Chains A and B, each alone.
Chain A
Amino acid sequence: MTIMQHSNPQESRSALFVYLKNPLLVAFILIVLLLTAGEALSPGFASMEQILRLLIVAALLGIVAAGQNLVILGGREGIDLSVGGVVSLSAVLAGNVMDGSNANIIAAILVCLAAGGLVGLINGVGVTIFGIPPLVMTLGMLGVLQGLLVVIRQGIPSGLAAPALANFVSKPFLFNLPGIIWLWAAVGLLMAFLLMRTSLGHKIYAIGSNENAAYMAGVPVRLIRIMLFALSSMFAALAGICILGYSGTSFANVGDSYMLSSIIAVVLGGTPLSGGKGGYTGTMAGAFLLILMQSILTTLSIGESGRQVVFGLTLLVLLLFYGRSKALRG
């Protein structure tokens, strides 16, 4: 009898725990709760227009987080701390190449993606060929990029978004939704297809789960990891272009906040930092949730520094919950 009495609460507690262990579900519950709380704090918070505004900001983060997601999925402590630097670089490059003219949009996109690809390639080669831990490699890269931007621009706003780009980001484009939201949806579809319906997706999960087993099964581990870093920087570059469209001009530090927030969005969405499981759908929810939190904190008149503290704490709490669910393999 004693055993029975003991086992019942135990079971119900573990059932609750199973639900809490489903990060996607938790993220959606939190989104609804936060929207409700926001509406209570300041009526109109959960209005359609406001949600749309949040979605635009979330899309910018979500595109950066797509790349971050890929690098983290690839395992072996994969992380890309240089995304913020690439976002800034890309915004500055795009602004200067475009210089306010629609005619230069294509050229600007090409230049930015190429620059991003190059940065990612260097990250990937450093990590795989020279064996530099991703944390160190990408942090070093971030330093280099920030230094470069300071030297080039001295912190002065520069460049000008082409009108078409600005419209694409913030004005209704199709079915009353801005283009950036369509772009984010496209990125989401592309990521889902890549991860779940292509052999490359299988291989990314394989190297993230058990790199040695993947290697023994003929997966080109290094090539794929380099590719992940390159894709990460290219997604960041794409986001940088969109951010230029969002703000009209570009600053050398416009991307700084994306380093931490892109990681939080990924982890919030259920991809553990140890890699090998999770996916982009969760990350999209994570990005929106994060932007929602940010907005609530703003509503509560908590400044930028306060928000950073809250974000940092969020990441720590998340890692406590999800990060340890799978120990890193030695």
Chain B
Amino acid sequence: MSRLKLQQICKYYGATTALASGDLLLERGEIHVLIGANGSGKSTLCKVIAGSVRPDGGTFELNGKPVMLFGPQAAREMGICLFYQELSLANSLSIAQNINLYHLPTHAGGLIDDAELNKRAEHYISKFETVIGEGFTPDAPVAKLRPDQKQLVEIMKTLASEAEILIFDEPTSALDRSQVECFFSILRELKEEGRSIIFISHRMDEIFDIADRITVIRDGTTVSSRLIEETDHSTVIRDMIGEQPEAAALEASLAPQAEKKTESCLVAEGLSGAHIRNVGFSLAKGEILGLGGLHGQGQSTLLRTLFGAEKLQSGTLLLNGEAVHPTNPRAAIKNGFSYVSGDRVRDGVITGRSIMENVSPIHFLKDKTFLAFPSVLARIIEPALGALNTKYSSLGASISSLSGGNQQKVVIARWLTNPPDILLLDDPTKGIDLSAKSELFALVRKLADEGMAIILYSSEDGELLAHSDRILVFNNGSVSRELLGEDKTRFNLYEAAYSGAQ
């Protein structure tokens, strides 16, 4: 009898399907890895198991009996505990208090028993003794810890639940090699005790190091579940990609023509900053350079660094042969850079102001205009909006009256009044509709054909494969592989993203 049996679990958020048919069989004494591309539904499935998301359908059996979970507390009482990907620590409390957060030891009167609290905390800290680093004492406040140490506290907190089923959703993202190994040896001990562990990670080498079984989820559906001996890297990746003939055909049809573009306009060497390490590339005029890989591997940071919005600590940047140091967006814009953020609410839209005011800033900056007569501005702004087929009632209408896709078009039109030399696209189609997406990419290709150099990061791999001439795959802040020509396939992209550097 399986410890946990999930069948056809589904979860919808409005029109979005987070989970279509999630199946999972979890045995006693097993480390079970869940893997899938970004947004495939792994985290949702875990949250269903841990009781923090209520499923809309499907069956859920624990030790052979169907159960209904009402919240994380109920799940913990049944012996299920989840390590949250987004750390859920109480920053102002001490390490010991955080570790014991699920079961705070108390005196008879209800006051916290500090001696017992520290004793229990010490027990879990000692397991990691060799890798915890400086300042990791039970009474130290969590706020002062490094990111990896915070992650360890969260791991200890999960372990301290002493649950029979432990779920770890990307627990190793901030940890170094020795910390991961220490953690894995603890997991193996727990497995020997008969506990069941669900483990999510994007690091293929880690997965094959620790897993007994690998279950692949794609588009909210469980597609395969194999024992570790029966599978390998490429099988897992093929399961994650699935058969996608139309997409493949699209990617092939849009594949770039022969590499005729050689005149490079931007050359970067050894760029390093907060989240990027030693990034180098060369970008040619008329080229669309794609940045790929898992979320948050430094792609966005690179674009923001080039644009001067993040600090460049070291490295050289040559623009048309001349060294430039991006210090702020204003300087970068004057140098010919432009930047479109997918987070248009934070970085793009001038909230509540008119469409005209949202398009005008770059024109003002580059043409050094002081006067802003609507009739004069309209002559500059209307063609820019027209190039993107933007739908609006009048230039004076508030940008907030437009749909997300049209808002993004307005933000992009801002750059078209005075075309830049280099266009940085940071996941530009996030949250906009399909027709707006295709119009946007048609424009991007046209701009490239006219000689603009473009760097595109997209969280949608299909988009990236279809629209870039060349892809740099990012892993942990640096470029792990360059895909061009015939190598630019979904399989290679996934392999590079999940298997790390080659």
Contacts and interface: CB of A to CB of B under 8 A. Distances in A.
Contacts of A213: 346-351
A196 B375 CA distance: 13
Nearest to A195: B372
Given A199-B364, A203-B364, A210 B349 contact: yes
Contacts of A205: 350, 353, 357
Nearest to A219: B361
A202 B370 contact: no
Q: Is the interface of A mostly helix, strand, loop or mixed?
A: helix
B362 A217 contact: yes
Nearest to A221: B330
A contact residues, range: 20 to 34
A218 B361 contact: yes
Interface in A206-233: 206, 209-210, 212-220
B350 A214 contact: yes
A301 to B, nearest CB: 44
Contacts of B365: 217-219
B373 interface: yes
B361 A212 contact: no
Q: Which of B350, B362, B373 has the most CB of A within 10 A?
A: B350
Interface string B362-377: 1011000111110000
Given A202-B357, A202-B364, A215-B329, A210 B350 contact: yes
A276 B309 CA distance: 23
B21 interface: no
B498 interface: no
Interface in B288-329: 307, 309, 328-329
Contacts of B330: 218-220
Interface of B: 307, 309, 328-330, 333-334, 339, 341, 346-353, 357, 360-362, 364-365, 369-373, 414
Q: Which 4 A-B pairs have the closest CB atoms?
A: A199-B364, A217-B361, A218-B333, A218-B330
Interface of A: 196-203, 205-206, 209-210, 212-220, 276-277, 326, 329
B372 A201 contact: yes
Contact of A212 (B347, B353, B362, B370): B347
Contacts of B339: 216
B407 to A, nearest CB: 11
A326 B329 CA distance: 27
Contacts of B329: 215-218
A329 B362 CA distance: 24
Q: Which of B334, B353, B365, B414 has the most CB of A within 10 A?
A: B353
Contacts of A214: 350, 361
B360 A199 contact: yes
A198 B370 contact: yes
Nearest to B307: A216
A319 to B, nearest CB: 18
B350 A209 contact: yes
B295 to A, nearest CB: 21
Contacts of A199: 360, 364, 369-372
Contact of A216 (B341, B352, B353): B341
Given A196-B372, A217-B361, A218-B361, 5 more contacts: A199-B371, A200-B370, A209-B350, A212-B347, A217-B333
